[in-house]
Structure 1
Amino acid sequence: MSTPRPHTATQANGSAPGTRPPRSKIVKTLIGTGAGNAVEWYDWAIYATFASFIASQLFSKQDPSSAFLATLAIFAVGFVARPLGGFIFGWIGDKAGRKVSLTLCVGLASLGSLAIGLTPTYDSIGAGASLMLLIARLVQGLAHGGELPSAQTYLSEMAPPSRRGYWASLIYASGTVGILFGTLLGAVLSSAMPESAMAAYGWRIPFLLGAVFGLVALVMRSRMEESELFESEAAAHDAVIPGHPAPARGGLFADLARHWRQALQVIGLTVGLTVAYYVWGVSTPAYAINVLKIDAAEALWAGVAANLVFIVALPLWGRLSDRIGRKPVLLISGIGSAFLFFPATWFVHDSALQVGLAMSAMLVFIAGSASIMPAVYSELFPTAVRTIGVAIPYALCVAAFGGTAAYLQAGFGVWFGDAGPTAFALYTVALLLVGAATALSLREGRGVDLSNR
């Protein structure tokens, strides 16, 4: 009778400890994940960039203000669909595989972009145009609800444990590249085309390009390898030893209920990050243009420069977390962002230089949490429920806090008058401190084998 071999721990990417995965595998993983993620963030952002043109073409022209508000309302509907997308694609990711979920997400998002780019005008088919837009954004909302958790889980499982924080920084870096490309494309098209041409057909070009980019990313993702950690978990579950029943696996909701504490930690870690990132990574140039009356082109270029600083800072924080741990980086990031929030807000008065410097300073600290959050999320859950365990609380949090950030930022100004900006800053700082407090409750995940979680 032979003696069973002892189990040998493997890295998250399936290779033996101390070895590096093949270069071709690294390239496929990073390019496929990053390209698809950039396309999805691009798809999401260009809707807001071209909202005024969408309103004029796909809604009634009788009341332009109502048409623009309806366009923004449909943008919000996309956030509402994200939790459902997180549930659907989280379940697919944990049952059929991370690669399957990622491929479906980018394909669905690109289908939504294609639909928007080809939707007939309101003058052609009436309210049907608005309905088609609504359906397309719902489809994209579902895809985006599944994209981030699936990409975060896949990348974390494929990364060598000693470099998981560094690899995780690709998520926000690639996403920000997608947003910046969409913004620059909007600036180029608006400068190169007459406004009449932009209104007639120019606004459709970015959406059609999004569909093409998505097709390319779809091909890339179809060629990626499945996470070996997922495959080994599935094989262990399916294996049947003679004389022993197959390993039991609880129902979906039972599995989630057993990990309610980790789900709350995902929410606690995300609330401050999502609002702070929206304020300093996205909306500050618009605030400078509309409220402070700073030159639009200068404010937008300041925002682009600050986001380039953000992209550079992300991998540096990721590397640091692989050296000193996730918790110290999360605490430095959260407390530093909270401490700097008011001074950065007061610093911005009347110049684009102030906008760029304040955004850059804040985004350097925000990058600390953003860079490693995918790794931190994945280190909270076991393999069997890792995707859906992250997807549902994350999507609910982003919908509830990220989706309402713009509304609350404007609403506080209406409700509290001159004290509105201070009230919104207090709200954001409180959420950042919630994130720092949540970080204190975490088990350190630096260098751990995810198969032991």
Structure 2
Amino acid sequence: MNERLKSIIGGSTGNMVEWFDWYVYSAFTLYFAPHFFPSTDRTAQLLSAAAVFAVGFVMRPVGAWIMGIYADRHGRKAGLTLSVTLMCAGSLLIACTPGYETIGVAASALLVVARLLQGLSVGGEYGASATYLSEMAGEARRGFYSSFQYVTLISGQLLAIMVLLLLQAVMDPADLEQWGWRIPFFIGALLAIVVFRLRRGLAETNSFKNAKEAKSEQSGLLTLLRHHPKETALVMLLTAGGTLAFYAYSIYMQKFLVNTSGFSKVAASQINAITLFIFMCLQPLAGALSDRIGRKPMMIAFGISGVLFTYPIFATLEQTSSMVTATLLVMAALIIVTGYTSINAVVKAELFPAHIRALGVALPYALANTIFGGTAEYVALSFKDAGWERGFYWYVTAMIGISLIVYLRMRDTRKSSLIRED
């Protein structure tokens, strides 16, 4: 196995564990929400848990800022190692925190602290991993290899759902509700320790080494805003619709199928698992396609399809009681968003020079992700609580439309990439 492939596999595996830890919260929300937010109203409990999920996103721009600079100044490997350490701490804290019935409001407060730690971690993880994979990939197959950033992101989410399905199959429902939901958080903490050791053995990228030797201007917020304001704004705008669509179609979808469509928790988890697995397999294919036809056509295809079909897909899902129909509709939504997810990492990395690439990728993405992705569940549930659930469908459609305008006007980064090393 050559050094490049070994590094890509190593970086991807660590990324998967990071996202498993992040998504376990969402996968098990239906089970642990009553322990931290007691209420007789399921929607109210989910709103509270979704608010904490959104709070974790508040720290993502902070993590992107701090660890983006850290990865630009000290190396991509150093940034990846630091991020997984913070994720381990957050998962362990959730696993060990007593419920509301034991320590009262302190339980909710500790849950918030844990999500803040995880948000700090993921904020740095995205920029470091996207930059690392893009820089490690050769020019001819950069779209293909960098697509594994989302393959591992999705596989982490999928692994969280698979753990949920396994626990649902082997545990008594009452035990799972009472204490079994803690198991995946312990698993995540242990896996993070393994990844810490793995990442310490990764090779550093040539892009970082060359930037270091050239003594380029140091990475920092003022440098980013002064020299790359257009690219920074571009990352935020092209991310807004894509990240909202991804969270609406995948993360929120599990709750939507239970809380709106009326499927059981098990059925919703099964639908989510099947569609996410196919979605994951599509990422390298779409990434490879972008190496042939360019990045821009892929994003435009997502934008047009998202504008046309988001509302009909959600509106139809409201009415269906068939698992087959629901699975096909969710799969259609995820196929649409593949035009964004498969190449978003490499598009952002190709916009910035090496000395500020990790910060340039991470910070504007994290800001857009916090504003639109992190609040997706809360906004959706708020619309439902207000009695106008379909307002959320229009909101997602509008944001995809805004990003589509950006896709139509931007240059194709495959032809103008600032990643010089092959």
Same fold (TM over 0.5): yes
1:394 equivalent in structure 2: 365
Q: Tell me which amino acid in the other structure corresponds to 1:338.
A: V
After TM superposition, give the deviation of residue 225 of structure 1 in Å.
0.6
2:8 equivalent in structure 1: 30
How far, CA to CA, are the matches of 2:196 and 2:234 in structure 1? 32
Deviates more, 1:108-117 or 1:196-205: 196-205
1:354 equivalent in structure 2: 325
Q: Tell me which amino acid in the other structure corresponds to 2:401.
A: L
Q: For 1:380, what is the secondary structure of its paired residue? A: coil
Deviates more, 1:298-307 or 1:349-358: 298-307
Q: For 1:450, what is the secondary structure of its paired residue? A: coil
- Equivalent pair of 2:53/2:374 in contact (CA under 8 Å): no
Q: 1:210 to 1:313 in 2, by over 3 A?
A: same
Q: 1:363 aligns with which of 334, 353, 367?
A: 334
How far, CA to CA, are the matches of 2:178 and 2:387 in structure 1? 40
After TM superposition, give the deviation of residue 206 of structure 1 in Å.
0.6
After TM superposition, give the deviation of residue 354 of structure 1 in Å.
1.4
Q: 2:293 aligns with which of 320, 324, 341?
A: 324
How far, CA to CA, are the matches of 1:179 and 1:129 in structure 2? 25
Q: 1:71 to 1:77 in 2, by over 3 A?
A: same
Q: For 1:203, what is the secondary structure of its paired residue? A: helix
After TM superposition, give the deviation of residue 309 of structure 1 in Å.
1.8
After TM superposition, give the deviation of residue 251 of structure 1 in Å.
5.6
How far, CA to CA, are the matches of 1:416 and 1:135 in structure 2? 32
1:234 equivalent in structure 2: 212
Are 1:174 and 2:142 an aligned pair?
no
Are 1:42 and 2:20 an aligned pair?
yes
Q: 2:276 aligns with which of 300, 303, 307?
A: 307
Deviates more, 1:303-312 or 1:390-399: 303-312
Q: 1:287 aligns with which of 225, 234, 256?
A: 256
Q: 1:42 to 1:424 in 2, by over 3 A?
A: same
2:376 equivalent in structure 1: 405
How far, CA to CA, are the matches of 1:75 and 1:173 in structure 2? 22
Deviates more, 1:40-49 or 1:319-328: 40-49
- Equivalent pair of 2:63/2:122 in contact (CA under 8 Å): yes
How far, CA to CA, are the matches of 1:438 and 1:409 in structure 2? 25
2:187 equivalent in structure 1: 209
How far, CA to CA, are the matches of 2:363 and 2:226 in structure 1? 12
- Deviation digits for residues 350-373 of structure 1, max 9, x if unmatched? 212111111111211211110011
Structure 1 unmatched ranges of 5 or more: 1-22, 238-246
How far, CA to CA, are the matches of 1:62 and 1:432 in structure 2? 35
Structure 2 unmatched ranges of 5 or more: none
- Equivalent pair of 2:65/2:362 in contact (CA under 8 Å): yes
Q: 1:62 to 1:109 in 2, by over 3 A?
A: same
After TM superposition, give the deviation of residue 171 of structure 1 in Å.
1.3
1:104 equivalent in structure 2: 82
Q: 1:371 to 1:451 in 2, by over 3 A?
A: closer
How far, CA to CA, are the matches of 2:99 and 2:315 in structure 1? 44
Q: Tell me which amino acid in the other structure corresponds to 1:157.
A: E
Q: 1:448 to 1:191 in 2, by over 3 A?
A: same
Deviates more, 1:254-263 or 1:316-325: 254-263
Q: 2:162 aligns with which of 181, 184, 207?
A: 184
After TM superposition, give the deviation of residue 439 of structure 1 in Å.
1.8
Could you say what the CA RMSD is over the residues aligned between the two structures, in angstroms?
2.5
How far, CA to CA, are the matches of 2:330 and 2:217 in structure 1? 51
- Equivalent pair of 1:117/1:207 in contact (CA under 8 Å): yes
Q: 1:284 to 1:135 in 2, by over 3 A?
A: closer
1:20 equivalent in structure 2: none
- Equivalent pair of 1:45/1:182 in contact (CA under 8 Å): yes
Q: 1:82 to 1:365 in 2, by over 3 A?
A: same
Greater radius of gyration (CA): 1
- Equivalent pair of 1:267/1:393 in contact (CA under 8 Å): yes
- Equivalent pair of 1:164/1:375 in contact (CA under 8 Å): yes
Q: 1:416 to 1:260 in 2, by over 3 A?
A: farther
After TM superposition, give the deviation of residue 125 of structure 1 in Å.
4.8
Q: For 1:292, what is the secondary structure of its paired residue? A: coil
- Deviation digits for residues 376-397 of structure 1, max 9, x if unmatched? 0001111111111121111111
Q: 1:405 to 1:62 in 2, by over 3 A?
A: closer
Are 1:269 and 2:269 an aligned pair?
no
Q: Tell me which amino acid in the other structure corresponds to 2:139.
A: P
After TM superposition, give the deviation of residue 149 of structure 1 in Å.
1.2
How far, CA to CA, are the matches of 1:290 and 1:257 in structure 2? 46
- Equivalent pair of 1:28/1:223 in contact (CA under 8 Å): no
How far, CA to CA, are the matches of 1:383 and 1:114 in structure 2? 34
- Equivalent pair of 2:90/2:117 in contact (CA under 8 Å): yes
- Equivalent pair of 1:332/1:368 in contact (CA under 8 Å): yes
Q: For 2:374, what is the secondary structure of its paired residue? A: helix
Q: 1:290 to 1:397 in 2, by over 3 A?
A: same
After TM superposition, give the deviation of residue 290 of structure 1 in Å.
1.9
How far, CA to CA, are the matches of 2:220 and 2:33 in structure 1? 44
Deviates more, 1:346-355 or 1:180-189: 346-355
How far, CA to CA, are the matches of 1:451 and 1:44 in structure 2? 29
1:373 equivalent in structure 2: 344
How far, CA to CA, are the matches of 1:119 and 1:424 in structure 2? 33
After TM superposition, give the deviation of residue 445 of structure 1 in Å.
2.3
TM-score of the two chains, using structure 1 as the length reference = 0.85
1:7 equivalent in structure 2: none
After TM superposition, give the deviation of residue 404 of structure 1 in Å.
1.7
Q: 1:122 to 1:280 in 2, by over 3 A?
A: closer
How far, CA to CA, are the matches of 1:285 and 1:205 in structure 2? 20
Aligned-residue sequence identity (percent) comes to: 36
